[in-house]
Structure 1
Amino acid sequence: MDKLKLVALSGSLRNLSYNHAALQALKNLSVKVADIDILTLGNVPIFNPDREQDAIPAVKSLKSHLNAANGLIISSPEYAHEISGVMKNTLDWLVSGEEFVNMPIMLINTSPRATHAQQMLREVIVTMSGNIIEKSYVAIPLLGTSLDVQGIMTDSQLSGLLKTGLDEFCIAINDLLRCDSPQPLISN
């Protein structure tokens, strides 16, 4: 079977973001099973429903990538018990489109104590008809460490958690793809 095409979104714009580092480590660990495109959200403008029909390059690119993807990976921080503004803004641009509906979604939490944002993110995703793959959820304790991409990849526990989450995600997506494929009729 061909490698899966996955899109990843980090809810942080920081240069040294743990969320981005986790996604980059996952991308590096996934080369045999999936192609992961990590999208930058810094150019996505503030959501305005009056502009939904405008040809905004960052929004068009986001929707195009999602249309071509088999699944979506989201890693987002918690700010003041909320979803980060950049993540909420990005999701707002996807509310009225079809790109997100039934999309398999893997969640990564780089600060397991940050439960409020995860609950809110789940609520938003479910409301938007996304399909959270629970078995693929990964919580890795990066907050307060100095780990970068290489540090995450060489830490056997952290890289193992990411690999296991990705494996579960890919299994679920492949199962969904098989269910969506027409089954041959069996004749006696």
Structure 2
Amino acid sequence: MNWLAICGSLRRQSTNLAVLHAAARLAPPGIAVRVYSLAALPLFNPDLEAEMPAVVREWRAAVAAADGLLISSPEYAHGVSGVLKNALDWLVSGPEFVGKPVALLNASTRAEHAPAQLVEILRTMSGIVVESASLDLPLLGTQRDADAIVVDPSMTTLLQAALQNFAATIAAVV
């Protein structure tokens, strides 16, 4: 099984990115997690869809090849990050995302507006948000990297349970 992990932040030291790297290390056996950077994607422009840039074709192919998506993104000004929304906009007109299982891993228990907006966006795009695999982690302000998350038993327990639920849900759908 192959999962694609995407972060809505471009910060090198992003806690959301650290969560995804930790999830990749804690994934159940037999599951490969590829952490994918959205940094190279151009701003969405429907005029470019006829002759789609190579980086966009690669993004869409990566989503199509994944059995599921792990998304971790900050909340900016009570909303979904522009980086993540832009990446999702590039998927709207294609079939790559339709029916794709998604787990939302939130690095802050205080974010409430963006996760709800993201769920609405993903469901509108015909994605399957797996609630039992989605998780809010109390990492806001901790500056933890993936190593610190993986060695923290409270974080490891939560992440492993969510990832097991995600794997079981995908296996039941496939």
Same fold (TM over 0.5): yes
Q: Deviations over 1:5-64 (max 9, x none)?
A: 000110000010001000000101126231011111010000000001223122111111
Over the matched positions of the two proteins, sequence identity in percent amounts to: 43
Q: Secondary structure at the match of 1:94?
A: coil
Q: 1:144 aligns with which of 118, 132, 141?
A: 141
CA contact (8 A) 2:15 2:143 kept: no
> In structure 2, what residue type is equivalent to 1:89?
N
Unaligned segments of structure 2, at least 5 residues:
none
Structure 2 partner of 1:109: 106
Gaps of 5+ in 1: 178-188
Aligned-partner residue type, residue 96 of structure 2: E
Q: Distance in 2 between matches of 1:160 and 1:61?
A: 34
Equivalent of residue 87 in structure 1, options 44, 65, 84 = 84
| Corresponding residue of 2:117 | 120
Match of 2:69 among 72, 92, 111: 72
CA distance in 2, matches of 1:159, 1:33: 18
Q: Which residue of 1 aligns with 2:158?
A: 161
- For residue 129 of structure 2, the aligned residue among 112, 115, 132 is 132
Report how many residues are paired: 174
Q: Is residue 57 of structure 2 the alignment partner of residue 56 of structure 1?
A: no
Larger Rg: 1
> How far apart are residue 138 of structure 1 and its match?
1.1
Q: Which runs of 4+ in 1 moved over 3 A?
A: none
TM, length-normalised to structure 1: 0.90
Which of the pair has the greater relative contact order for Cα pairs under 8 Å at 6+ separation?
2
TM-score w.r.t. length of structure 2: 0.97
- Matched residues in 1 for 2:23 and 2:9: separation? 16
